[in-house]
Amino acid sequence: MTHPMLESASRAPARTRARLAATALAATTLAAAAVVAAVTTPASAASGLGQLAAAQGRYFGTALANNHLGESAYATVADREFNSVTPENEMKWDATEPSRGSFNYTGGDAIVSHAQGHGQSVRGHTLVWHSQLPSWVSNGGFNAATLTSVMQNHISNVAGHYKGKLYAWDVVNEAFNDDGTRRQSVFQTTIGDSYIATAFQAARAADPTAKLYYNDYNIEGINAKSTAVYNMVKAFKQQGVPIDGVGLQTHLILGQVPSDLQANLQRFADLGVDVALTEVDVRMQTPADSSKLATQSANYAALTKACLNVARCVGITVWGVTDKYSWVPDVFPGYGAPLLFDDSYNAKPAYTGVSGALGGGTSSPSPSASPSSSPSSSPTSSPPPGRSCSATYRKVNEWNTGFQAEVTVTNTGSSSMGGWTVSWAFPNGQKITQLWNGTLSQSGANVTVKNVSYNGTVTPNGSTTFGFTGDWSGANGTPSSVTCAAS
């Protein structure tokens, strides 16, 4: 897999978009609200992807930035779709302890307050990281004992401040290099290997109920880096170092979901820790087009399914609400469009990739829909009790630029269904030219087929079939996720 060069994040040119005025306003307003209720387990959201994930015993979250919460579309989508949030920058060391012993919780408190008001759990991010680390720490010239005490004091104060209010903490972030050696951060070079265990012990002491995570990128597949993390977690479990989870950031490049993602999640889970996809985005060379968006949808569906297939994969967090504010173009010029909502807050094919994989429908929410939007237009509507179906896609024939395929709809419920809707996203821009035994609508990569009058009624275990011909070019991949909704 191409190396994402994430280290360059800390050297990125300053973002040109204005962030600061809104930050100050949102922070002042929201920090005033008292932070009361403890959130120690993933909350259930009112709607959207969060609700679909909750039905699977998972959460679906987003990175949230205070400076955008004043934008109504941003807040509307964040609160409608996600039942977990991670402060994108507000709980990092440079924000919380900008000078020694002087703590500032304004931004973090605002996020926690907002989350509590919207039924969202919070993943704290992050206590010990080489980046966004104030120079009084990185260039302080401390000896091992003093830097250990500086780190313990930071953890004790910050995790202590949020005690009982967070679902989890990313205690240590990005401590390994891609070759599996330790990153030469100031903590590593001054304290040595032991700093990570020390950080986890301090975090447990400060907040006994938060799940304590090690978090990193490029550990999604089985490779030298993920194996180094695996060995550390295994040792921690043997030594009694308090670690509860491993966060796989999952900053991916289009078309490069590791084929062994699920196996890798499972091997971590088998050590006795939870796993989570903590900062998901799938970047592409911009501008986006329908083919890239379809591939991105398939990639999101695949990573969602990998998580669902691992019992201890507790949830997925995407690294931002909208492409408009993603960190990606700042750090990888020429790349972008990595998230589920575009610059105008329209749901992208990737959204339906996720919602389909989570077992929901594949309709998109309207851009302005509020969290209490009508279930009939939301991807979360549920079938009548006892009614459910599945659909399987089979390519029957393929030639030059055309192909024929068949989809079998099976009633998997306990009662007869009176109608069905099957949906998928084509991964390679295929276009249906003619369809029989169903009513077709296709928008870009997204296909929806409903029954016609004579084949809507299907008895339990019974099935019916529709077929179509289509055009393809370049590649003619099978949709990674075909969903069926019974009515």
Catalytic residue annotation: 174, 279
Listed residue (138, 165, 167, 170) closest to 151, CA to CA: 138
Q: Minimum CB separation from ligand G3I for residue 168, in Å? A: 15
Q: Note whether 14 binds ligand G3I by CB under 6 A.
A: yes
Q: Note whether 132 binds ligand G3I by CB under 6 A.
A: yes
Cα-based angle 214, 219, 223 (whole degrees, multiple of 5):
130
Listed residue (32, 28, 58, 36) closest to 45, CA to CA: 58
Q: Minimum CB separation from ligand G3I for residue 19, in Å? A: 5
Q: Minimum CB separation from ligand G3I for residue 327, in Å? A: 4
Q: Note whether 220 binds ligand G3I by CB under 6 A.
A: no
Among 66, 76, 83, 89, binds ligand G3I (CB under 6 A): 89
Q: Are residues 105 and 161 in contact, defined by beta-carbon separation less than 8 angstroms?
A: yes
* Choice between 54 and 95, CB closer to ligand G3I: 95
Q: Minimum CB separation from ligand G3I for residue 65, in Å? A: 7
Listed residue (480, 461, 276, 483) closest to 359, CA to CA: 483
Binding mask 258-287 for ligand G3I (x = CB under 6 A): ---------------------x--------
Cα-based angle 310, 164, 128 (whole degrees, multiple of 5):
70
DSSP code at position 484: E
* Choice between 93 and 472, CB closer to ligand G3I: 93
* Choice between 93 and 424, CB closer to ligand G3I: 93
Listed residue (423, 417, 420) closest to 452, CA to CA: 420
Helical pair 290-308 and 261-269, crossing angle rounded to 10 deg: 20
Q: Are residues 359 and 56 in contact, defined by beta-carbon separation less than 8 angstroms?
A: yes
Gap between the Cα atoms of 69 and 154, Å rounded: 27
Residues of span 19-48 touching ligand G3I by CB under 6 A: 19-20
Among 66, 84, 120, 249, binds ligand G3I (CB under 6 A): 249
Gap between the Cα atoms of 124 and 173, Å rounded: 11
245-248 and 463-471 beta bridge pairing: unpaired
Q: Are residues 429 and 290 in contact, defined by beta-carbon separation less than 8 angstroms?
A: yes
Residues of span 323-352 touching ligand G3I by CB under 6 A: 327
Q: Note whether 185 binds ligand G3I by CB under 6 A.
A: no
Q: Minimum CB separation from ligand G3I for residue 339, in Å? A: 11
Q: Note whether 10 binds ligand G3I by CB under 6 A.
A: yes
Q: Minimum CB separation from ligand G3I for residue 9, in Å? A: 3
* Choice between 127 and 147, CB closer to ligand G3I: 127
* Choice between 20 and 34, CB closer to ligand G3I: 20
Q: Minimum CB separation from ligand G3I for residue 398, in Å? A: 40
Residue 125's beta-bridge partner residues? 170
Q: Note whether 85 binds ligand G3I by CB under 6 A.
A: no
Gap between the Cα atoms of 326 and 225, Å rounded: 25
Burial 261-294 (b: 16+ CB within 10 A, else e): bbebbbbbbebebbbbbbbbbbbbebebebbbbb
Q: Which of 13-21, 96-104, 194-202, 267-275 is the region at the interface with ligand G3I (rule: CB under 6 A)?
A: 13-21
Among 71, 88, 109, 207, binds ligand G3I (CB under 6 A): 88
Q: Note whether 131 binds ligand G3I by CB under 6 A.
A: yes
What residues make contact with ligand G3I under the rule CB under 6 A?
6, 9-10, 12, 14-15, 19-20, 88-89, 131-132, 173, 249, 279, 327
